[in-house]
Structure 1
Amino acid sequence: MTAEPLVTVQGAGLPVVVLRPGETLLFGRAPQASPAPGRVVLALPDCAPHVSRDLGELVVGTGTVTLRWLGAGEAQLSSLFDAPGGARRVTMTRSMTALLDDGENQLMVLLGRQDPDGRLTDRLLAIDIVRPRPDEPGRPAAPGGSDATTEGPRLERFGRDWFVALALTEPWLTGQDDYPRPPSNREIHERILHWRGHAWNLHRPQRVDEAIRTISALAFGVRNDPYGSEHPGRLQNVRFMVARRAAELRLVTQADLAEVERAARDRDPSP
C-alpha cells in the first residue's frame, strides 16, 4: 500500500504550511474563501496588481496531490527529483489540473511579485511531497498518535526559525521539564544573540511570534495547529504547547544545543 503524502509548502516571506490527506490549500492575492476545517487559505504578500485573487488550489488526497490552477496568469510547474523519467516542466494556465510528483516541486508564478520600487519579479513556491512510513525499520514511534510524524518537513538547519525553535525548547532540551513558563521573546532574542553574535531582526517581538507560528504549523500540522483555532487561557499556554511539541518531535535536539554553545565559546573564549 502506498504511504499517504505529507506536503510542505514554502516561499519567501510566507509561513510554512504543512498539509495532510483530506486537506486543501487555496492561495492567491486575496483568496475569496474563508479558512475552514481541512481548508487553509493563504494570501500571498507583495502580489502584483494583476495577480488573481484565487491563483491555485492544492488538494491532498490519500494517494495523490493535485494542483488546480485558477488564475488568469500563467505559472511554471517543475518537478525536480522523483518524477517518472526525470524532471518535467509544465506551463499552468487557467482550469489546468496537474498531479504532483513525490519529492520537490517548484511553482513559479510568472511576474507575480511586485517590489517596493514597482518592479515585477517571479514568485517561487516550493511544494515538497514525502510519504513517511511509521513502520519503517529504525524509525521511532511518533509521539501523540498516528497523526504525528518524526520524519518529513524539517526546519532549515542554522536558519532563523531553527534558532528560534532551539531557544524556545531549551528548557526541555536541558531537562527543566518543570520550567514555569516558555521563554519570552526578549529571552529568545538574547539567547540567539549569544549563540550567533547577531540575531537577524528578532529584536522585533513580532518577528519572534512569526517564527513560533511557523514552528507550530510544522510541529502540529495545519489540522491541529493551536494557532489556527481558539484556545482558552493565555497565548503563553499555546507557546508552551509548541515548545514541548517541537522538543518531542526533535525539530531541534540536545546535540544541536551543545553545538551552538560550543560555537559561542569558540567565538568568545573569555570566561
Structure 2
Amino acid sequence: MVLGSGETLLIGRAPQLPDDRPETQLRFTAYPLPSCAPHVSRLLGEVIVGDETVRLRWHSRTAAQLSSLFDAPAGARRVVLSDTVTVQLDEGENQLLVLRGKQVGDDLLLVVDVVRMDTSVTRPIPLPALQDLDAAPTKDAPGLVPGGREWFVALALAEPWLAGDDDYPRPPTNREIYERVLGWHGYAWNLERTQRVDDAIRRVAAVAFGPREDPFRSEAGRNLRNIRFAVARRAAEVRLVTAQDLAAANRAAAARHRS
C-alpha cells in the first residue's frame, strides 16, 4: 500500500476512525491486519504522512516495538510503544513488531518504508468499506493471575528490566526468586524447592511467548540461563508484569515490615 502527503493509514484488527477524527476528512484508509489474535485492539495506530515527516500515533495498550534499521539519524533504534505515544518514523525501513499479535501466538511484523518520491504518483485514498463495525470486542491478552505464584515468579524474574537495569549481568537465581517472592508476599508457596521455581518459569514462558515460540520447546539443547534471560525480558516486554506492579509489591512489603 502506497500513501502520499496528507494521507493516513489506520491499522489494527478491525480499524475505524478514532472518536476525535471527523468523518468529513476523507484522506484515511483502513488496513485490517490478517490473522490477528482476538486480544489485539481494533485500532492499534495511525501512520500519518505529512509533507516532510511520517508519524506513527499509537492508540493501544497492546505491546509493540518500533525499530528503525537503516537510515535512522543515529543508527538503529528501538522504541517501545504505549498508548497515546506519537513517534516520527525515520527515512528508510521501519519495522513495527506487535508482540503476540497473531492468532497462533507469534509476533506480528509490519514494515513501513519511508521514501521521498514524486507526489504526483499518489492521490488521496478514501476510507474504504474495509471497516468492520461489527467486529468482536477486543479480548484480554493472555496473562498471569495477579498475585498468584507464577505472577510473583515473573515479577522477580523480570525485576531488573522493570527497574530499568537492562545491563543486569544475569537472570536471578532460583534462590533469589524465592527470597524476593517471600519478601514481597510473606508466603512463597513451595518455591524453596528449585524444581517448583523451574516449573513456574516454564509456565511464564508459555504465556509470554505462546506455544509456537516457547523457548523451552523450540530451543532444545539451548543454555537454560540464556532461556531464563529471554523469558525475563519477554515478560517485561509483553507486560505480564509491569513497573507499577513492582512498585506496588515493594510498598506492600514495606508496609508489612512496619507493622
Structure label with greater radius of gyration: 2
By how many angstroms is 1:253 displaced?
Answer: 0.8
Structure 1 outlier segments of 4+, above 6 Å? none
More strand by share: 1
Tell me the equivalent position of 2:161.
172
Equivalent residue, structure 2, for 1:148 = 100
2: CA distance, partners of 1:147 / 1:246: 11
Amino acid at match of 1:209: D
Q: Does the residue aligned with 2:180 lie in a helix, a strand or coil?
A: helix
Provide the secondary structure at the position in 1 that maps to 2:170: coil
- Give the structure 1 partner of residue 184 of structure 2: 195
Give the aligned residue type for 2:204: I
State the Cα RMSD in Å.
2.9
Question: How has the CA–CA distance of structure 1 residues 194 and 232 changed in structure 2, closer, same or farther, with 3 Å as cutoff?
Answer: same
User: Which position in structure 2 is the counterpart of 1:135?
Assistant: 43
Measure how far apart 1:154 and its partner are.
1.3
- The one-letter amino acid paired with 1:142 is A
Q: Deviations over 1:78-112 (max 9, x none)?
A: xxxxxxxxxxxxxxxxxxxxxxxxxxxxxxxxxxx
Q: Partner amino acid for 1:175?
A: G
| Conservation of the 8 A alpha-carbon contact between 2:185 and 2:253 | yes
Label 1:158 to 1:239 Cα distance change in 2 as closer, same or farther (>3 A): same
Q: Do residues 266 (structure 1) and 255 (structure 2) align?
A: yes
Give ranges in structure 2 of 5+ residues lacking alignment: 1-11, 15-34, 46-58, 66-95, 102-106, 108-139
CA apart distance, 1:146: 4.1
Residues 161 and 236 in structure 2, CA contact (< 8 A), matched pair in contact too: yes
* In structure 1, distance between residues paired with 2:219 and 2:197: 20
Tell me how far apart the structure 2 counterparts of residues 147 and 159 of structure 1 sit (CA, whole Å): 23
Alpha-carbon separation, structure 2, partners of 1:232 and 1:146 = 28
1:195·1:260 contact (CA, 8 Å) conserved in 2?
Answer: yes
In structure 1, C-alpha distance between the alignment counterparts of 2:167 and 2:143, rounded to whole Å: 27
Name the CA distance, whole Å, in 1 between partners of 2:255 and 2:166.
Answer: 29
- How many residues get paired? 149
Query: How far off is 1:130 after superposition?
Result: 3.8
Q: Which amino acid aligns with 1:234?
A: N
What percent identity do the matched residue pairs reach?
Answer: 53
- For residues 143 and 211 of structure 2, the distance between their equivalents in structure 1, rounded to whole angstroms, comes to 15
Q: Which runs of 5+ in 1 are unaligned?
A: 5-61, 64-128
Q: What is the CA–CA distance in structure 2 between the aligned matches of 1:257 and 1:146, rounded to whole Å? A: 24
Task: Report the Cα distance in structure 2 between the residues aligned to 1:240 and 1:167, rounded to whole angstroms.
Answer: 12
